[in-house]
Amino acid sequence: MARVANVWKSVETTLVALPLAALLAAGGWAMAEPLGLPKLPVPADNPQSPEKIALGDKLFHDARFSIDGTVSCSTCHNDKKAFTDSPLRVSEGHHKLTGTRNAPSVINAAYYTSQFWDGRSISLEDQSQHPMVNPVEMGLPDHEPVLKIVREDPGYVEGFKKAFGKSGRDVTMDDVKKAIASFERTVISGDSPFDKWYFGGDRNAISDQAKRGFDLYVGQGRCVSCHAIEQTQALFTDNRFHNIGVGINRIQGDVPRLAAEFLKAKAAGASVDKTVLADPMVSELGRFAVTNSFDEIGAFKTTTLRNIAVTAPYMHDGSLKTLKDVVKHYNEGGKSPGDPTPVNPYLSGGIRPLDLKDQQIDDLVAFLETLTSPAYVTAQTK
Amino acid sequence: MTRLITRRSVIAAGAAAGTLTTLPISMVRLAFGGTREDFSFTYISDSHIQQIKGASFVRNWDMGLKRAVAEANLITPEADFVMFGGDLAQLGKKEELDHGAEMLSHVKGKLHSVMGEHDYYLDLGEYWSKLYGPQWYSFDHKGVHFVVLNSILTTDEWTFHRWPTAEQRMLEMAGLDNPNGSPFMVGEKQRAWLKDDLDKVSKDTPLIVFSHSPLQKIYKGWNFWTDDAEQVQALLQPFKTVNVIYGHVHQIQYNQIGNISFNAVMATAWPWPYPDTYAQAGAHVPVLTVPMNRADPFFERDATGWQMIDVNSGRITARYQLWDNGERVVGYDPKLGKPVDKKYQEAIVRKAPQLHY
């Protein structure tokens, strides 16, 4: 089995230091996962192939799929910024329109069981199509302009032929979505100092302070309960949704009205995908907008903590600037220090004051900094 | 009649399926020829508000009640009324009753309340009555006769100044395996009142009775027991349709004794496990065919929650709003003549307990 380097053209720019071995196995791709990660989940109807990954890479970076020709997937998920748009608080779409949520990193998104902060897409394939037609993201009226480009551009005609064996006119949005998702599945990160210490047995891979931070992470800090670490792998997410007291303070007194009006609009056919990014108040309803469940009001997805030190600002609304701010927020039991808002009644059951001292907060941050893969160190925001 | 409903149990089925738009609120014609309207009420119970010191209260119990009130207030249209099932306080203190009452003051609509033993020990219910009124009473609503009982009375140990303070009474009575006081009971005086009250009601009028401890004998060791249950049941048996709803046990239970359907409600504070490991001869533990949904100690709200009670032709359907898990529904099955699980989240689809650390 030979390592196939050429298909990793753009991936290598960001993941060059990872021990990724893209291996051609009989009948398809097999990829050796970096230390600390489980087997990459790949849907049966969209197996990885070098041609599809290269095509997806190109689609991911193509700004022609936006109404003003300025926004591509990589605008908000910039590979030079650990696939985020750090340091923006919330993302900017076409004509510099601002949305309501902070761009989550694409790194390890392949391991999420749902996509978007509220999980409204169940796969990378489904997720990839939505920003193109969102009124504040790429702003297209529908997907026809995308299809016109990929069916007529000679480079894409060749690319889709190689990836899917289709001539230009037969290419569908399903193919576009699959190619983008295949590329995104290559953007994975493990092999961090933490992985080398915890899974690799290198006792010197992290500092003593970070080791103290780890004890807090799994103990008094209770972080591990949602940002999971298991025996042989660590995704740092439970793939669930929690109200952790962020953003809800902006709408707390208004929840009954907002919830009733949103449900009414949804029943009348309003698009959740468009509404949550266009209305900053409705956006804070979180997972409720998808499930209509009262116990998911203000709940958002547990994000991975991998590369967290290089993807500031934090939380779904980008409201916390530093990792220390984040730890302090949890330490207060789901309230940022000084926030005069009354206690959030929708708070998830696992969130409670932690009674961490200043030194312990610093230790926890030191531990979180060990979760950065070497390839992303240069992406750190200064 | 059609009205928009945003009740979680209904909307969970999905707006796309069109289930959002209607609530069966038809006038139901009963066999005796009367008419009565279907309706719903909210049931919140066992909040156990506990003072630590001064204005400091146990945060977790506070949060359970606050969340129940906040969620119940989101129901559209509003429920007809709200029941609170007892044990608002934990240590029987005035401060706890006040703090809990302040939180309950945020409920939308009319609030009725049941006396719990933790509310009683302060001064034999005197202060509680200032907040919520008589310890036992009845009312009629949309063709159903409702009765509220105080089922946590005991042999009056404190008359003899055996335990002169609220805290002492609480300590003696709250033990799970060896409470030193007598078992709970409704008592002769209240049973006489109940007989008088029910004598005025037609036997085919549906009854819904609220108590704190179960009006059945479940498990004496944990005071899941009312000593004169059979005598109370005898007063209820002549009625055609009888439902008893009780708190105290902090778990989902249901049972059928003769003509009486029993439903327990969950606590907002913490769940108890079903005490089958404690079962012993004479405990009369009813068969619990369906286990309680997951109780994961990490998630403080897990296996706790609040209820929507739908009343249809005088029979109740309890919709248990379980935090961190799907709704569970227990309703009366006319073919079997007893309550059954109508909707239950099997282990395979429940949110799994924490497997790591």
Mean pLDDT of B80-95: 95
Mean pLDDT of B215-222: 88
Give chain B positions within 8 Å (CB) of A240: 351
pLDDT of B50-61, one tens digit each? 999 999 999 999
How many angstroms away from the CA of A16 is the closest CA of chain B? Answer: 31
* pLDDT band, very low/low/confident/very high, at B276 (cuts 50, 70, 90): low
Give the nearest partner residue to A349 out of B4, B6, B301, using CB atoms.
Answer: B301
Instruction: To the nearest 10°, report the CA torsion of A341, A342, A346, A352.
Output: 100
Would you state the pLDDT for residue A181? 98
Contact A307, A105 (CB under 8 A): yes
d(CA A107, CA A356): 30
Instruction: To the nearest 10°, report the CA torsion of B200, B201, B207, B210.
Output: -10
Check whether A23 has a pLDDT greater than 60.
no
Check whether A201 has a pLDDT greater than 80.
yes
pLDDT of B322-333, one tens digit each? 887 888 999 999
* pLDDT band, very low/low/confident/very high, at B281 (cuts 50, 70, 90): low
Question: Considering Cα of B237, then B243, then B247, then B249, what sign does the dihedral take?
Answer: positive
CA distances from A185 to A53, A61, A189 (A): 9, 15, 11
* pLDDT band, very low/low/confident/very high, at A105 (cuts 50, 70, 90): very high
β-pairing, B35-37 with A28-32?
unpaired
Contact A89, A320 (CB under 8 A): no
CB contact under 8 A, A293 and B8: yes
Most A CBs within 10 Å, among B56, B63, B328, to test the A interface: B63
d(CA A23, CA A31): 6
- The residue assigned the tokens 């997805």 is A301
Chain B residue with the nearest C-alpha to that of A222: B298
d(CA B198, CA B192): 10
Give chain A positions within 8 Å (CB) of B293: none
Mean pLDDT of A238-257: 94
Give the nearest partner residue to B300 out of A293, A295, A349, using CB atoms.
Answer: A349
Q: pLDDT > 90: what percent of chain B?
A: 61
Give chain B positions within 8 Å (CB) of A230: 355-356
* pLDDT band, very low/low/confident/very high, at B274 (cuts 50, 70, 90): low
> What would you report as the CA-atom Rg of chain B, rounded to the nearest whole angstrom?
20
Lowest mean pLDDT among A134-138, A309-313, B18-22, B126-130: B18-22
Q: pLDDT > 90: what percent of chain A?
A: 80
> What would you report as the CA-atom Rg of chain A, rounded to the nearest whole angstrom?
21
Annotated binding site of A for heme c: 73, 76-77, 94, 223, 226-227
How many angstroms away from the CA of B198 is the closest CA of chain A? Answer: 39
- The residue assigned the tokens 């005598």 is B231
DSSP state of A3: B
Chain A residue with the nearest C-alpha to that of B268: A349
Contacts of B89 (CB under 8 A, 6+ apart): B48, B49, B50, B96, B97, B100, B116, B118, B119, B122
CB contact under 8 A, A345 and B63: yes
Most A CBs within 10 Å, among B74, B301, B304, to test the A interface: B74
Contacts of B199 (CB under 8 A, 6+ apart): none
CB contact under 8 A, B6 and A259: yes
Chain B residue with the nearest C-alpha to that of A296: B324
Check whether A281 has a pLDDT greater than 80.
yes
User: Cα–chain-centroid distance for residue B4?
Assistant: 27
Chain B residue with the nearest C-alpha to that of A259: B74
Give chain A positions within 8 Å (CB) of B356: 224, 228-231
Annotated binding site of A: 73, 76-77, 94, 223, 226-227
How many angstroms away from the CA of B61 is the closest CA of chain A? Answer: 11
Would you state the pLDDT for residue B268? 97
Mean pLDDT of B155-177: 75
Chain B residue with the nearest C-alpha to that of A226: B354
* pLDDT band, very low/low/confident/very high, at B299 (cuts 50, 70, 90): confident
Task: Count interface pairs A-B at CB distance under 8 A.
Answer: 84
Mean pLDDT of A154-162: 97
Check whether B24 has a pLDDT greater than 60.
no
Would you state the pLDDT for residue B34? 45
Check whether B296 has a pLDDT greater than 80.
no
Nearest to A298 by CA among A314, A280, A285, A283: A285
* pLDDT band, very low/low/confident/very high, at B159 (cuts 50, 70, 90): low
How many angstroms away from the CA of A111 is the closest CA of chain B? Answer: 17
CB contact under 8 A, A228 and B63: no
How many angstroms away from the CA of B317 is the closest CA of chain A? Answer: 20
Would you state the pLDDT for residue B182? 85
Give chain B positions within 8 Å (CB) of A224: 356-357
**φ, ψ for residue A165, nearest 5 deg:** 70, 30
Mean pLDDT of chain B: 84
Would you state the pLDDT for residue B257? 95
What domains are defined for chain A?
Answer: 50-185 (1.10.760.10), 190-381 (1.10.760.10)
Q: Where are the beta strands (DSSP E) in A46-117?
A: none
Contacts of B55 (CB under 8 A, 6+ apart): none
Give chain B positions within 8 Å (CB) of A293: 8, 11-12
3-state secondary structure of B139: strand
pLDDT of A327-348, one tens digit each? 999 999 998 888 888 889 999 9
**What is the predicted ipTM?**
0.81
Mean pLDDT of chain A: 89
**A154-164 and A144-152 are packed helices; what angle lies between their axes, rounded to 10 degrees?**
90
Mean pLDDT of B62-91: 94
d(CA A221, CA A93): 36
Check whether A382 has a pLDDT greater than 60.
no
Question: Considering Cα of A225, then A229, then A235, then A236, what sign does the dihedral take?
Answer: positive
Would you state the pLDDT for residue A5? 28
* pLDDT band, very low/low/confident/very high, at A381 (cuts 50, 70, 90): very low
Mean pLDDT of A54-72: 97
Check whether A18 has a pLDDT greater than 90.
no
Mean pLDDT of B182-202: 96
Chain B residue with the nearest C-alpha to that of A267: B15
The token pair at B121 is 């020990």
What domains are defined for chain B?
Answer: 33-349 (3.60.21.10)
Would you state the pLDDT for residue B196? 98
CB contact under 8 A, B71 and A295: yes
* pLDDT band, very low/low/confident/very high, at A21 (cuts 50, 70, 90): very low
d(CA A296, CA B322): 12
Give chain A positions within 8 Å (CB) of B12: 291-293
CB contact under 8 A, B357 and A240: no
The predicted model scores a pTM of: 0.86
